[in-house]
């Protein structure tokens, strides 16, 4: 039986350590509440994105945050959700995809990345909006 040097077994331990943040991010996409709004943001990594998209039916408003011509996904973007000029939610999006459960109406969604503000208007019942930088 061939034995691996002790340093090789450390490689497995290090790989597990470095890979575990991706697993915790996938699990961290929990639904949060702010006033009358529920939201969840995530989608960092393929597994997390699939878990997010599996929850889509629970929500009635959604948007992506992307950058550049290739649509590179963004995370850690400060977001503000407004309705009728009043802030109804404020959070930092932990991933490129956010779903919200909101009362019926029209919302203004603002995001700030690299010092640049982007704003979109979105109607409840739609989930394919994009904040683009």
User: What is the Cα–Cα distance from 4 to 89, expressed in whole angstroms?
Assistant: 54
User: What is the Cα–Cα distance from 106 to 123, expressed in whole angstroms?
Assistant: 4
Percent of all residues in the chain with a pLDDT value above 70, rounded to a whole number: 78
Is residue 73 within 8 Å of 42, Cβ to Cβ?
Answer: no
Residue bearing the bigger pLDDT, 20 or 50: 50
Q: What is the pTM of this model?
A: 0.76
Mean predicted confidence (pLDDT) in 55-63: 95
User: How many residues in the chain?
Assistant: 133
**Choices 2.120.10.30, 2.60.40.10, 3.30.930.10, 3.40.980.10: CATH for 29-132:** 2.60.40.10
Of the CA atoms within 13 Å of residue 108, those in its CB half-sphere come to 10
pLDDT of residue 46 exceeding 80: yes
* Confidence at 73, pLDDT banded by 50, 70, 90: very high
């Amino acid at each position: 039986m061939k034995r691996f040097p002790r340093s090789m077994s450390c490689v497995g331990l290090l790989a597990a350590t470095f890979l575990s943040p991706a697993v915790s991010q996938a699990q961290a996409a929990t639904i949060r509440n702010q006033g009358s709004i529920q939201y969840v943001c995530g989608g960092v990594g393929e597994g997390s994105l699939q878990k997010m998209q599996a929850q889509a039916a629970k929500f009635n408003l959604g948007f992506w945050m992307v950058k550049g011509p290739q649509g590179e996904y963004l995370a850690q973007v400060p977001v503000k959700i407004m309705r009728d000029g009043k802030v109804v939610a404020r959070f930092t999006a932990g991933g490129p995809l956010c779903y919200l459960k909101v009362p019926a109406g029209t919302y203004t969604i603002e995001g700030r990345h690299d010092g640049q503000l982007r704003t979109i208007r979105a109607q409840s019942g739609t989930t394919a909006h994009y904040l683009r930088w």
